Structures are given as structure tokens and as C-alpha cells.
Structure 1
Amino acid sequence: MRKTISILVSMVLGMTLLAGCASPKENKKEEIKEAVKKVNIVAPDGLPSIAIAQLAKENPEIKNGYDLIYTVEKSPESLSTTVMKQEADIAIVPSNMAAIAYNKTSNYKIAGTVGMGSFYLVSTDNISEIKDLEGKEVGNTGKGLTPDITVQSVLKANEVDLSSLKFNYVNSASELVPLLATEKISTGFVPEPALTALMIKNPNMKIVKSLNDAWKEANKTENGYPQSTVIVKADFADENKEFVDSFLGQLSNSIEWANKNSKEAGEYAKEIGVSTEPKIIEKSMERSNLKFILAKDMIEDYNNYFKKLFDYDIKTVGGKLPDEKIYLSE
């Protein structure tokens, strides 16, 4: 009996020692698991998602201890909801949404621009400059929204009599393209990559002017107007400065790669959920105007852009002009 008890005691002690040896390893694994920080990154379907295509597809390590989750939002409404609920740590949004997010949440800041204006004035009529639009019917998207406001600002700067124009508004570029392709209307402002699809369907369509170039000329600016903006949660940026700086550097590299490797960019974009066909993306990259510029180098351009939107309708920037704290400091 004593021998049996002795054996049982030895077994219990042995199991305890084994458990003691395994425990630190398990705890260490658990600590490592808990140490990984998940980062939610969202972008809208279209050009902004092409900017992150290489990052989302190849998912390189930005900084040890961070797990990046990329999401392509299929509609402006879903993108807005995600941002306003502060579910995104980093997001690429239309630039006016950056102002709205700052004013409404006080917790998103502009880190940089990922795309300048990608809209173009196109026509099958005898039009060679913006001034020639007087008396014409012109197709455009989003009445009272930022594409419309930007167009009207440029038209005013070129002294076009707006009352002489008949604007034909549709909700999206996908609705505008068929009208221009079948020449139900002959003139309009179309963004890439929808423009490339249009020119394939209607080879007679010619590009009259880049809206971004027209903005440059009207506002005496080097870059044009910021169409797409990368925003970062302020508290996330404060707590993860090294990661954010590294991510922005990689984002810049991703955009540079997309511009140099348009075919691969189209293929990558499809794989991450962008709805535009890869061949259209490939052909559109030359005019897409994807470019990364840090916020600190775009402050004057943003302030000017926001002021024009504000003067047209205060709701377009969230009810008030954002102050200088909207820009992510170094």
C-alpha cells in the first residue's frame, strides 16, 4: 500500500512539474497572441482601392505586432457608416468626407492625399475649351455634391455663364457612361476609370480638358484639388506613431508601384474586390492621377478646397470649416 501511495504521489508531482514547465510557454504564446494589434483599413471601390491594391494583396509586414485587415467598401453609404462609427483605424475617403469625419467625430485626421482630380471634360461636339460649354447640355454626376461643386467652381473661374448651361445630372458615372456612349448627350464630365470604359464604347469621344488641370490654372496651385484622402484615427495615430509613419511610406510605394505596373495593378485590384475590370484599370492608370502627398504639403490646397465647398453648402464639409488640427502632425 505504501509503495502504491508513493507511486501515486510521484505521478502527481511529476504531472505538476510538467504542467509547471508547459505553463510559461503557453502563457508566452498567449501574450504574443494578445500583443498583436489588429488594424482595420478601408477604402471605397474604385481608384482609392487601386492605391492599396499591392498592400492588400501582398500584405507585407508594416511593423512587427500588427495585423492589417483591408476592406473594400462597395457603396458610399457603407463607407460613411464605417467611418462615422469609427470602425476604421485608417480609411481612404472622398476629401469632403475627411472634413465631415473630423467635424462629426473629432477623431479622424488627414494624413495625406492619395489621388488628385480624375474627372475629365469629354465631348463629341466641336468643343476645344471650357468656355465653349456655354449654351450646351452637359452631363455630370451628383447634383450639389462635390463633383458638381468642383465643376461649377471651375466654370465660374473661366467666366462661363452657368445660366446658359443645361446640366443633365445622374447619380453615378455608371449611369452617365451609357448616355455619352450612345450620344444621347454629347458632352459631360467623367472620372476615371469610367472614362476609359466610355472611350472603348465610343471611340469618337474626345478629351477636351482635365478638370484637375483646369483647377490648377484657376487656383494657381501645383497639384490641383484633392479628390481622395487618407485619414487616421487621432488616438490610434498618437499611440502607434511608428506604425502610421511606416504605413504611409508603404502606401506611397504601393501607389508608385500601381502607376508603373498598371496590368498587375488591375489584376490585384480584382483579387481584393474592386468591381472595375482589370483591362479597364490597366488602360485608365495613365489618367487616374493617383499620387501620394503628405498632409503637411497639401494644407493650402485642402483649405482652399474646403472653403469652396463650404461657400457652396456648409453640409458638404460637416457644417463648419475644419480648423488646422484636422491635419496629422509629424
Structure 2
Amino acid sequence: MITTKRIRLCALVLVILLLATSCSSAGEDTTKGTTTPDTVQSVPTTTPDDLVPPSDPTPSDSPRTLLKLAGLKGPTSMGLAPLIIDAQEGMEAFDLSFALVASPEEIVPMIVRGDVDLAAVPSNLASVLYNKTEGKIAVIAINTLGVLHIVERGETINTLKDLVGKTIYASGKGAVPEYVLRLLLEKNDINPDEDVELKWESDHSAVVAQIAKEEGSVALLPQPFVTVAQQQVTDLRSAIDLNTEWGHVIKDAGLVMGVLVASKEIIDKDPEAIEAFINCYETSIQFVNDNLDEASAMIEKLDIFKGAIAKKAIPFCHIRFFAGEEMQRQLSGFLELLMEANPQSVGGKLPGDDFYFGGK
């Protein structure tokens, strides 16, 4: 019996040895020819914690930031057109909704209530909103410089000094157009109350109606309404670009007519999306200036302005992009001038440095 058990035990050991040798040979055969000194592979050490199944990568499934944008019909929204269309087609790093309104009165409550994250507005209105919301918005870019022009039915006006003794029809009394015109007249040694006669009309249409009736008349009009008026009054010409005149006499401030503001809530919540938007915005504005045909078609598609008018007006609208310290320099200087003219035009007081995103 003992002999039989020993024979069985020896046989079992022999089988185990044969199996071990077979496995060892198979392991050597599978590795030969698969590694070289340049492609040595290491096998990571695993622990029980490493055995947890990895989660699926989800970068493409990450929710995209939706930015809610509002703008006014006219130049301050023209530079947004390519950006809006690209974003709506999914070509930007963020999603975008766009609300277009006809007047500043409509856009103010949207910003105050927080219905929108971003808005293109007149520069002084941005300051008013900063004060109204107790500092809850910031300017992230300038989008439009001077759009005001002296227009004439004739050929007698070539410089501001040629306005002496003239009647000037205008709209915007008690607002930026009046302050800009008065300041430029004074800088050219012209008394706006004695050397010229300023006749204030209710709106741009009323101004055009007056000059249409009067040959040789002179008026103050903004683009693109100058271009609109020229369709009705064929002998009307742009005599003086006030943005150019501003640059001659005022060096420490820009004639800043339009800006883009953002709520500080969205700036703090998603700074990457805001930075991406700013970068795309600069490209968008450049595209508008360089590609009049395509840009004007986009502007009409979004109902910002009629494409044919936009195409003619864009070169004279001074649609420009400034951000950071240069934005602050140009805008703060302009708001200081408005503050001197009428504190209420900027909301009663100048905004703090936190008003200027990326400024000093």
C-alpha cells in the first residue's frame, strides 16, 4: 500500500514539473521579438484600489457655457455679427443666444434684472448701469468710436470753423451728441451759444426732414443714419467726421460711443468663456472691417441693419476693438469729460477701476 501511494505521489510531482516547464517555455516564446531596447515596456504594479473600473472620459460631453447676449440696432452691434453666426452654428467654444432691441430703454432692464450676461451699449449708459447695479457689471471691450458727422447740402463746410454763423440741425439734446459737439466747438474757439445756432429736433428722422426742405442746410447726424439720409437727400454729403476732429484736439481720451459690458457674475463664474468671447470678438470686428460684402449680409441676416446701408456705412462707423489698459485709457478719459459736462450722463459719479475688465 505504501509503495502504491509513493508511486502515485511521484507521478503527480512529475506531471506538475512538466506543466511548469511548458508554461515557462510558452511565456518565453510570446515575448521573443516583441520588445527591443528602444521599446521596453514596463508592467505597472496594481493594488486593490487600482482595480476599480476607470470612468469613461467625457470631454466631449461636458456642458458648454451658454452666454446670453443683447445688442442695439446700429453700429454697436455690427461688429458682433460674425461671432454670433459662428457661435449659433457651433463653431465657437461657447453657445450664444442673442436678443436685439431697438432702444437703450429696452436693454437697461434686461441688464439690471440679470436676464443677459453680455450687452453692447452706448459708453455712457455702461457707466450709468455700473452705478445703478452698484458695480455688478464691467466693460470688457470698446466696440465703436465716433460715429457723428457734420453733414451739408452744399460745399461750404470743410472745417469746424466754417460752421460759424451757421444753423446746425441735430438730435440728442442733453445727451452725448450735444456734449461732443459743444466740446469740439469750444476746442476750436467757437462759442456754441453765440457763434452758431443749434436747433434740436426730436430724432434723426426729424433732422433729415428739416435738411430735405432746406438747400444749403447743415446738420449733425450719426452713421449709419448719414448713409440712410443720403438715399433720400441725394446732394447731402459728409463734410466733417467728428471722430477725426476729436483726435486732433483731444489726445488723452477716445471718442468712445459703444462698448460691450458683462455681468461680474458670469465673469467670476466662467472666466474662460469670457476670455474666449473677447478673443473671438476682436476677430469678429476685424472681419467686419475687412469683408464688407460678407459682413453686411450677416448684419442684415441678424436684422441689425439693412445690408446695403451697412456696406456703405461700415467704413465710416469706426467699428474698433480695444480691451485692457488701452480700453481703460480711452474710456475713462471720455467719461471724465462727460462728467464735467453733466454728471447725470454717467450716472452721477465716475465708475471705479473695477469697471474696466483687464485694466490697471
1:92 aligns with 2:120: yes
User: Are the aligned partners of 2:226 and 2:238 in contact in 1 as well (CA < 8 Å)?
Assistant: no
Structure 1 pair 189/149, CA: closer, same or farther in 2 (3 Å)? same
* Unpaired runs of at least 5, structure 1: 1-23
What amino acid does structure 2 have at the position aligned with 1:218? Answer: V
Partner of 1:14: none
Q: How does 1:247-262 map to 2 (within 5 A)?
A: 247-262=277-292
1:286 aligns with 2:315: yes
Q: Please point out which of 189, 206, 231 is paired with 2:220.
A: 189
Query: 1:256-308: per-residue Cα shift (whole Å, max 9, x none)?
Result: 1111221222221122122x321111111111110111142122221221111
What amino acid does structure 2 have at the position aligned with 1:316? Answer: S
* Unpaired runs of at least 5, structure 2: 1-54
Partner of 1:199: 230
Q: Please point out which of 69, 85, 101 is paired with 2:97.
A: 69
Partner of 2:345: 316
- Report the alpha carbon displacement of residue 183 of structure 1 after superposing the two structures with TM: 2.8
User: Are the aligned partners of 1:177 and 1:194 in contact in 2 as well (CA < 8 Å)?
Assistant: no
Query: 1:143-171: per-residue Cα shift (whole Å, max 9, x none)?
Result: 01111111111111111111222212123
CA distance, structure 2, for counterparts of residue 182 and residue 53 of structure 1: 36
Q: How does 1:35-50 map to 2 (within 5 A)?
A: 35-50=63-78
- Report the alpha carbon displacement of residue 124 of structure 1 after superposing the two structures with TM: 2.4
Secondary structure in 1 matching 2:193: helix
1:177 aligns with 2:205: no
Secondary structure in 1 matching 2:358: coil
Give me the TM-score of the superposition, normalised by structure 1: 0.84
The percentage of counterpart residues that share the same residue type is 23
- Report the alpha carbon displacement of residue 235 of structure 1 after superposing the two structures with TM: 2.1
- Report the alpha carbon displacement of residue 185 of structure 1 after superposing the two structures with TM: 7.3
Q: Please point out which of 267, 270, 273 is paired with 1:240.
A: 270
User: Are the aligned partners of 1:139 and 1:169 in contact in 2 as well (CA < 8 Å)?
Assistant: yes
What amino acid does structure 2 have at the position aligned with 1:305? Answer: F
Partner of 1:9: none
What amino acid does structure 1 have at the position aligned with 2:80? Answer: I
- Report the alpha carbon displacement of residue 176 of structure 1 after superposing the two structures with TM: 2.0
Partner of 2:136: 107
What amino acid does structure 2 have at the position aligned with 1:145? Answer: A
Partner of 1:273: 303
CA distance, structure 2, for counterparts of residue 184 and residue 103 of structure 1: 45
Secondary structure in 2 matching 1:163: coil
CA distance, structure 2, for counterparts of residue 177 and residue 261 of structure 1: 29
Query: 1:14-71: per-residue Cα shift (whole Å, max 9, x none)?
Result: xxxxxxxxxx99xx9xxx58x44321111101112211111222324432xx421011
1:134 aligns with 2:164: yes
Secondary structure in 2 matching 1:140: strand
User: Are the aligned partners of 2:124 and 2:345 in contact in 1 as well (CA < 8 Å)?
Assistant: yes
Secondary structure in 1 matching 2:257: strand
CA distance, structure 1, for counterparts of residue 74 and residue 158 of structure 2: 29
Q: Please point out which of 84, 94, 119 is paired with 1:56.
A: 84
1:296 aligns with 2:332: no
Q: Which moved more, 1:240-249 or 1:166-175?
A: 166-175
Partner of 1:81: 109
Q: Which moved more, 1:248-257 or 1:82-91?
A: 82-91
Q: Which moved more, 1:154-163 or 1:296-305?
A: 296-305
User: Are the aligned partners of 2:153 and 2:216 in contact in 1 as well (CA < 8 Å)?
Assistant: no
User: Are the aligned partners of 1:51 and 1:255 in contact in 2 as well (CA < 8 Å)?
Assistant: yes
Partner of 1:326: 355
Partner of 2:187: 157
CA distance, structure 2, for counterparts of residue 82 and residue 257 of structure 1: 28
More helix by share: 1
Aligned length: 298
CA distance, structure 2, for counterparts of residue 84 and residue 174 of structure 1: 30
Structure 1 pair 51/174, CA: closer, same or farther in 2 (3 Å)? farther
Runs of 4+ in 1 over 3 A off after TM superposition: none
Secondary structure in 2 matching 1:72: strand
Q: CA RMSD in A?
A: 2.3
CA distance, structure 2, for counterparts of residue 184 and residue 81 of structure 1: 42
- Report the alpha carbon displacement of residue 184 of structure 1 after superposing the two structures with TM: 6.7
User: Are the aligned partners of 1:100 and 1:316 in contact in 2 as well (CA < 8 Å)?
Assistant: yes
CA distance, structure 2, for counterparts of residue 188 and residue 269 of structure 1: 27
Q: Which has the larger radius of gyration?
A: 2
What amino acid does structure 1 have at the position aligned with 2:143? Answer: V
